[in-house]
Every structure is written in structure tokens, then in C-alpha cells.
């Protein structure tokens, strides 16, 4: 009998999820909220890293709008899908890696860190480590853009529930201030009011 990996800190856990079709987080297309941001002209194209990029829909979206994008995931099926669907006209750099082990050469390299359904997938005990990672990757003045999902108060996971106010407080300890927050009107119907757009600025 094959033993299932139950540790969300392991790439094998997520690889098994892809192989067994347990990918409820995957919309199958770019996140509508991010599509609005990319098209708005309010965020100038720059260097972006997408953490826990999955099959790369959002990474490709921003690349198509002129951003220089690095997409990171540690599940091999996700990485294969990103390579398979990469657009040579608007290429995304793809890296298979544990995001917590990204090299110091990436410190201060990015204007944007983008994330959706990645923060909720990591063990909650590592959330402060994630905030520190985001701080070191961003340039001063850089933005962390996230859809905080799922908002709630239940036990267990992944996905592990999120409280947006707690994210803001946690990131403030790493030199971030709140730039923008909203309950997006263009969240998909099943996620309305249980996800909040947060944009935090590294001071």
C-alpha cells in the first residue's frame, strides 16, 4: 500500500495532490482580481516573483503585461506545466525550489512579491518565516500582493485559515505598512467575502 505524505512542508505532499487531482485551489485560469490589477496601469512593470506559483496562470498574466517574472514552486508537476505553457513572446522564468531556501543573491531583487493560496498552504508555524522571506526578497518600497484566503476560524488544513488583520500585524514586524486592502468585487463567486486583497509596502 502506498503511504500518503501528510506534511505540507514537503514537496511530495503537493506532488501527490497534483497526481491525484486534489487541486481545488487551482482555478484553471488567471485570478480575476490580479487580472484587474495587471490591466489597471496602477502598478508599473518591474521585477516580480510569484511564490507557490502552481501551474503559473498568474505568472504568465503579469508577464503578458510587461513584468519580468520569476515563478517558484517545488512540486515537479506544477513546474512541468509552467514550462509546457510558457509563452515565448512573454516568457516567465521558472524555478523549482523550496521558497524558504531561495539564495541570498535574490535578496532585494524584486519590486513585487505575488502570492495566492500559498500562504494558506504553509504550516502556520512558518508564517513569520514567510514574512521574513518576503521582506528579504523585496526592494525598499516594493509591494507584497496577496489575496488572503480562506478567511475563517476553523482548525486544520491545508488550507489553513487566515485572518487579514493578523497578516498585517505580522508583516509590520518585518518593516511593512498597509498600502491597500479590499474585499474584491471580482473574487470568484465561491470565494466572495472569504478572501481579501492585501497590498503591503516594504518600508
Percent of the chain predicted with pLDDT > 70:
90
User: In sequence order, what E strands does the chain have?
Assistant: 47-51, 68-73, 93-96, 110-116, 138-148, 176-182, 196-202
Domain boundaries, the chain: 34-202
Residue-level pLDDT at 6: 62
Structural class in CATH, domain 34-202: alpha beta
Q: How many CA atoms lie within 13 A of 10 on its CB side?
A: 9
Contacts of 20 (CB under 8 A, 6+ apart): none
pTM: 0.91
Residue-level pLDDT at 63: 98
Which among 104, 105, 133 has a CA at the least distance from the CA of 118?
Answer: 133
Residues in the chain, pLDDT under 50: 1-5
Q: What sign does the CA torsion over 111, 116, 117, 119 have?
A: positive
Residue-level pLDDT at 5: 47
pLDDT in tens, 145-201: 999 999 998 888 789 999 999 999 999 999 999 999 999 999 999 999 999 999 999
Amino acid at each position: 500500500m502506498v503511504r500518503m505524505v501528510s506534511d505540507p512542508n514537503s514537496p511530495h505532499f503537493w506532488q501527490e495532490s497534483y497526481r491525484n487531482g486534489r487541486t481545488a485551489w487551482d482555478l484553471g485560469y488567471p485570478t480575476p482580481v490580479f487580472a484587474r490589477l495587471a490591466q489597471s496601469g496602477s502598478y508599473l512593470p518591474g521585477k516580480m516573483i510569484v511564490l507557490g506559483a502552481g501551474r503559473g496562470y498568474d505568472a504568465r498574466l503579469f508577464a503578458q503585461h510587461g513584468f519580468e517574472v520569476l515563478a517558484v514552486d517545488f512540486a515537479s508537476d506544477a513546474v512541468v506545466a509552467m514550462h509546457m505553457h510558457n509563452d515565448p513572446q512573454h516568457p516567465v522564468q521558472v524555478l523549482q525550489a523550496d521558497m524558504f531556501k531561495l539564495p541570498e543573491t535574490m535578496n532585494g531583487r524584486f519590486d513585487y512579491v505575488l502570492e495566492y493560496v500559498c500562504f494558506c498552504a504553509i504550516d502556520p508555524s512558518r508564517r513569520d518565516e514567510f514574512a521574513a522571506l518576503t521582506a528579504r526578497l523585496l526592494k525598499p518600497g516594493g509591494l507584497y500582493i496577496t489575496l488572503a484566503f480562506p478567511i475563517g476560524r476553523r482548525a486544520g488544513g491545508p488550507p489553513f485559515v487566515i485572518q487579514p488583520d493578523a497578516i498585517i500585524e505580522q508583516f509590520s514586524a518585518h518593516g511593512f505598512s498597509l498600502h491597500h486592502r479590499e474585499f474584491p468585487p471580482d473574487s470568484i463567486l465561491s470565494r466572495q467575502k472569504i478572501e481579501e486583497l492585501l497590498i503591503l509596502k516594504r518600508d
